A and B are shown apart, each in its own frame.
Chain A
Amino acid sequence: DAKTTQPNSMESNEEEPVHLPCNHSTISGTDYIHWYRQLPSQGPEYVIHGLTSNVNNRMASLAIAEDRKSSTLILHRATLRDAAVYYCTAINAGGTSYGKLTFGQGTILTVHP
């Protein structure tokens, strides 16, 4: 499985954009890049995922580098409810990886009013 590296923490002000980076230099061609977030005492929540192209959904955007060795989660206008631990992970589409969702330490995002 590709190892991911994220900054331990980041801070943002409310209503400003936030760019959360993730390095996954050992990613393979069949690894999907996923982002989840987790609020205290809650289960992880899916944010977005992609393979090669940039992706947008109602929550965020995912920008994937051309060589796929890094990606950036973009929250366009941070709100206080976006304060959470954000996990970047690479999940292989191969048959032996069912359910294997490996989270590293993640990035603790603090949003200031």
Chain B
Amino acid sequence: NAGVTQTPKFRILKIGQSMTLQCTQDMNHNYMYWYRQDPGMGLKLIYYSVGAGITDKGEVPNGYNVSRSTTEDFPLRLELAAPSQTSVYFCASSYSHISSSEAFFGQGTRLTVV
């Protein structure tokens, strides 16, 4: 089982550029999430999805967009990158609501905006 796979692992963007962070899971989980983690800090929820075709904003959605056309994939789109988006991005999935379920995380994408 591959679990949750994120690509790329590292990326450097220039201010104003756009990119898509890919996330795929092979566990048939309905729930998927995108988080960012700034140095020495905890996780902040960007977007989440409770199933294919359903997405909703988390705590810090500004500057990002997501889509969920299949159960497996949950890409995160950054439009007009800004230095404030320099962070490590984690995708995660869970079988059911995260309160009563184990969340599986990807290895992360380290993004630097210069």
Contacts and interface: CB of A to CB of B under 8 A. Distances in A.
A and B: interacting chains: yes
Interface of A: 30-32, 36, 41-46, 49, 51, 87, 91-93, 97-106
Nearest to A95: B97
Nearest to B4: A43
Interface in B50-65: 50, 56, 58-59
Given A98-B31, A99-B58, A101-B103, A44 B90 contact: yes
Given A99-B33, A99-B98, A101-B98, A43 B59 contact: no
B107 interface: yes
B35 A101 contact: yes
A42 B99 CA distance: 22
17 contacts: A31-B99, A36-B103, A43-B105, A43-B108, A44-B105, A46-B102, A46-B103, A46-B104, A97-B98, A98-B50, A99-B33, A99-B48, A99-B92, A99-B98, A100-B58, A104-B42, A105-B42
Interface of B: 4, 31, 33, 35, 42-43, 45, 48, 50, 56, 58-59, 90, 92, 97-100, 102-108
A100 B45 contact: yes
Contacts of B56: 98
A46 B104 CA distance: 7
Contacts, number: 67
Nearest to B94: A99
B97 A101 contact: no
Contact of A98 (B35, B48, B106): B48
A86 to B, nearest CB: 13
Nearest to A45: B105
Contact of A43 (B31, B42, B48, B90): B90
Nearest to A30: B99
Given A99-B31, A101-B35, A101-B43, A32 B104 contact: no
Contacts of B105: 43-45
Contact of B42 (A30, A98, A103): A103
User: Would you list the 6 A-B pairs with minimal beta carbon distance, nearest first?
Assistant: A103-B42, A43-B105, A99-B48, A93-B99, A91-B99, A99-B33
Contacts of B59: 100
